[in-house]
Structure 1
Amino acid sequence: MNNKLECPVCGYKEIEGDSCPNCDTDLTLIWRLCQLSEVRTSAPTKIQAWQFVVIGFVFLIGLGIGTISSFLFIQPQSINATVNVPNPVIVVPTPSTPAVLNTPPKTIQPATYPATYTVQSGDNLSIITEKLCGQGASWQLMVQANPQLKGRENDIEKGEVFKVPNCQEAG
């Protein structure tokens, strides 16, 4: 075993102690590594033919067990759907029966809401707009109808009074 080291930091040669006299580097770890026994490399082991046979046999057993268990424990659900298509009915208008009914189209009356809304506890613009205009209405309708809300959309106070937006502008 070599009793003298070379400093890996400064390159000082023939060091016998635990630290380099030139740069004061601690060399105790290097001394311990030098005292370890040498590692012998062994040749890689070859897998023999009988080991391949055993591995294949174990694989086939596992595959068989998995297949059998899938049939035993999982019951397939069969869906029996029958669709009955009725015979089409063809209606031919006769001269005694009028083909077109003359009825005036129905007009949809818009829902009437109060002209203003007073903010209640727990309200935000989205909740208010959905109450007044229905599901899917954007809170931006309230901001358009109430310009004083611009810049403070998330800061409304209980008791504030807002104009109700025209909800049909969104559609």
Structure 2
Amino acid sequence: MTEKLICPVCDRTEIETNICPNCDTDLSTIRMLKQLPILENKPSNKKWLISLLLILLFIGILVGSYSGYLIAKNNYDASLEALQKQANQDVTNVDNVEETKPKLNGCGGFNYRIKSGDSLYMLALRFYGDGSAWHLITEANPSITSPQNLEIGQLILIPNLQESCKQF
């Protein structure tokens, strides 16, 4: 027994053939589709897939954060190592360092802007030839409360030494 169809074009009912007698529409494709078995639509449980994707996303965020930390740490270590190497090189390049601390006469000086990597020891070594003369810089600059409180861009006074001043 053939199933009776309804024509989708002219809405004629109870058509038993593959051609609509009213509008000559071919109904063979519709008839084949109607003969296919009907499958039940089971609701798919995709919660596990969503959970898996969220776990992978979380792991990706953790891995990305940790690798960013490692990159930053390596860059910091490399720059710190380069600064230490430069400081060691500067210390070894100094000739005839006097054992006595130079004395400040208060005869002027010059302004210096702190740069990255500067320390009071390195500034005293550069300008006085003796790193242990850093206390002269702190005495001339009341804004320096501690040798660790140097800020990049800070303007400080590097006082002249007594030996550098002309006596009138």
* TM-score of the superposed pair, with normalisation by structure 1: 0.35
Task: Determine which structure has greater relative contact order: mean sequence separation of CA pairs < 8 Å that are 6+ residues apart, divided by chain length.
Answer: 2
User: When you count helix as a share of all residues, which structure comes out higher?
Assistant: 2
Looking at secondary structure, tell me which structure has more strand per residue.
2
Q: TM-score, normalised by structure 2?
A: 0.36
